[in-house]
Structure 1
């Protein structure tokens, strides 16, 4: 099983840190899983123009193909203006309508207030289900003030929530594979 994490931010390191922690927890849950982290800061993903994928630059094609070939995804985003980042939305717009069919996709975010967790439930979840993803009940939201200057997180319940999302994502994907056999 391959799990691809996506850090959907073009600035800072909080999103990267959170997605990486969940990927590492997934590896701890099942050492046989293969993990990869895509940090959008490292790629030049072109704006969607409505043309076939082959008309875009190598970075765009590479990132989209990594997503399409993954069994599971962990998608992370900061919350800006009560929404996911434009870079993440643009990336998701590159996917075909059934591009996430039979893939378990965990949601990860951080933001300024507790109410920003609603973006996961009412915005990102709707995009993912439109793309036919299976979204776990659990998600991971962390307030920005839980991070210190070194991007370390101070929340006594965070490790439990990270492990829960990792385990639930892997369990759902394994069950879906059994169902399909």
Structure 2
């Protein structure tokens, strides 16, 4: 089984990265066929259309997503929505190659509002790709992080 872990925050020192790096390490310890896509690396190009040549990182990320059986997606909440970096990433994914895949979500926020809204819009996005989503997302707030954890990543 192929698994892809996606950290959807574009921020270099994001709490989403801390969580999703942990998810990646744990998942990789259970399944060596795990790939990690970290959108804060800045390697995924902005989508400009079908007939455009994109860099290898962008093409590989799309390929990894389409080949994976399971997607583990972590996204911050920005203005009651998931990150635009995540939406951009899915512009490269061919919906004809994703039917029946399974996805789980971790959603991070500074406070306790917006989780259900963001889960709903991510679920709507994934339903376009005919991906089966776990109805129970993991909701996390920044309160779970100590200053030491944030400084070390």
TM-score norm. by structure 2 comes to 0.85
1:77 matches 2:75: yes
Structure 2 Cα separation of the partners of residues 34 and 50 of structure 1: 30
Residue in structure 2 matched with residue 9 of structure 1 by the alignment: 9
Question: What residue is the counterpart of 2:149 in the other structure?
Answer: 151
Number of residue pairs matched?
A: 149
> CA-to-partner distance for each residue in 1:130-162, whole Å, 9 max, x for gaps?
11111012211101122111237xxxxxxxxxx
Q: Residue 131 of structure 2 aligns to a residue in which SS?
A: coil
Q: Which has the larger radius of gyration?
A: 1
Contact 1:109-1:117 at 8 Å conserved across structures: yes
CA contact (8 A) 2:16 2:76 kept: yes
Write the deviation string for residues 41-88 of structure 1: whole angstroms up to 9, x where unpaired.
224212222214x72122211111111111111011111111111111
Question: In the superposition, relative to structure 1, how do residues 34 and 126 fare at CA in structure 2: closer, same or farther (>3 Å)?
Answer: same
Q: Tell me how far apart the structure 2 counterparts of residues 118 and 60 of structure 1 sit (CA, whole Å).
A: 29
Report what 1:115 is aligned to.
Answer: 113
Match runs of 1:1-181 below 5 Å: 1-11=1-11, 12-26=13-27, 31-32=30-31, 34-52=33-51, 55-151=53-149
In structure 2, runs of 5+ residues without a counterpart are none
Q: Which has the larger helix fraction?
A: 1
Cα RMSD between the aligned structures?
A: 2.0
Aligned counterparts of 1:142 and 1:108: Cα–Cα separation in 2:
7
